[in-house]
Amino acid sequence: MTELARTRPESFFADRFNVTGGLLERVLGSNLLGRADDADIYLEYRVNEELQLEEGTVKKASRHVSQGAGVRALSGTRTGYAHTDDISLQNLEEAARQARAIADRAGVSGAVAVPSRGRPHDLYALAEPPLVTDLAKKLDLLRKVDGAARAADPRVKQVIASLTSEEVVTLVATASGWTVGDVRPLMRLNVTAIAEAGGKREIGAYGGGGRVAFDFFLEDGRWRRFALEAARQAVLKLGAVNAPAGTMTVVLGPGWPGILLHEAVGHGLEGDFNRKGTSAFAGRMGQKVASELVTVIDDGTIPNRRGSLNVDDEGTATGRTVLIEKGILVGYMQDRLNARLMGMAPTGNGRRESYAYPPMPRMTNTFMLGGEDEPEQIIKSVKRGLYAVTFGGGQVDITSGKFVFSASEAYLIEDGRVTAPVKGATLIGNGPDALTRVARVGRDLKLDEGVGTCGKEGQSVPVGVGLPTIRIDELTVGGTAV
Q: Which of residues 373-402 bind other proteins (CB under 8 A)?
A: 392-400, 402
Cα gap 35→106, rounded to integer Å? 9
Helices 89-106/21-31 angle, 10° precision = 30
CB of 81 to other proteins, least distance (A): 5
CB of 367 or CB of 405, closer to other proteins:
405
| 420 contacts other proteins (rule: CB under 8 A) | no
**Near other proteins by CB under 8 A: residue from 42, 223, 332, 405:** 405
CB of 100 or CB of 305, closer to other proteins:
100
| 160 contacts other proteins (rule: CB under 8 A) | yes
CB of 120 or CB of 393, closer to other proteins:
393
> 248 phi and psi, to 5 degrees?
-155, 175
CB of 10 or CB of 397, closer to other proteins:
397
Cα gap 435→449, rounded to integer Å? 24
**Near other proteins by CB under 8 A: residue from 201, 224, 288, 437:** 201
Angstrom CA distances, 482 to 153, 243, 246, 477, 479, stand at 33, 9, 8, 11, 8
**Near other proteins by CB under 8 A: residue from 12, 81, 217, 223:** 81
**Near other proteins by CB under 8 A: residue from 117, 150, 157, 222:** 157
| 105 contacts other proteins (rule: CB under 8 A) | yes
Query: CB under 8 A: which stretch of 59-67, 110-118, 147-155, 218-226 binds other proteins?
Result: 59-67
Element (H, E) at 377: helix 375-380
Residue whose C-alpha is closest to residue 45's, from 214, 183, 174, 212: 183
Cα gap 73→83, rounded to integer Å? 12
> 231 phi and psi, to 5 degrees?
-65, -45
**Near other proteins by CB under 8 A: residue from 209, 361, 429, 466:** 429
| 278 contacts other proteins (rule: CB under 8 A) | yes
CB of 341 to other proteins, least distance (A): 11
Start-to-end CA span in the chain (Å):
58
Query: CB under 8 A: which stretch of 211-219, 296-304, 444-452, 474-482 binds other proteins?
Result: 474-482
Half-sphere exposure of 266 (CA within 13 A, CB side): 29
Helices 222-238/135-152 angle, 10° precision = 30
Q: How far is CA 246 from the centre of its chain?
A: 30
9 contact partners, CB below 8 Å, separation of at least 6: 43, 169, 170, 171, 181, 182, 183
CB of 80 or CB of 468, closer to other proteins:
80
| 151 contacts other proteins (rule: CB under 8 A) | no
**Counting every residue, how long is the chain?**
482
Number of residues interacting with other proteins: please give it, by CB under 8 A: 84
CB of 10 or CB of 196, closer to other proteins:
196
Q: How many helices and strands, by DSSP H and E, does the chain display? A: 10, 22
Q: Which residues pair with 440 in a beta bridge?
A: 471
Residue 458's identity, in one-letter code, is G
For residue 263, give the DSSP letter.
I
CB of 63 or CB of 443, closer to other proteins:
63
CB of 93 to other proteins, least distance (A): 13
| 108 contacts other proteins (rule: CB under 8 A) | no
Residue 382's identity, in one-letter code, is V
| 284 contacts other proteins (rule: CB under 8 A) | no
What does the per-residue mask of binding to other proteins show for 298-337, with x meaning CB under 8 A?
A: ----------------------------------------
- For other proteins, the binding residues in 214-233 under the rule CB under 8 A are none
CB of 482 to other proteins, least distance (A): 6
Q: How far is CA 263 from the centre of its chain?
A: 12
CB of 23 or CB of 428, closer to other proteins:
428
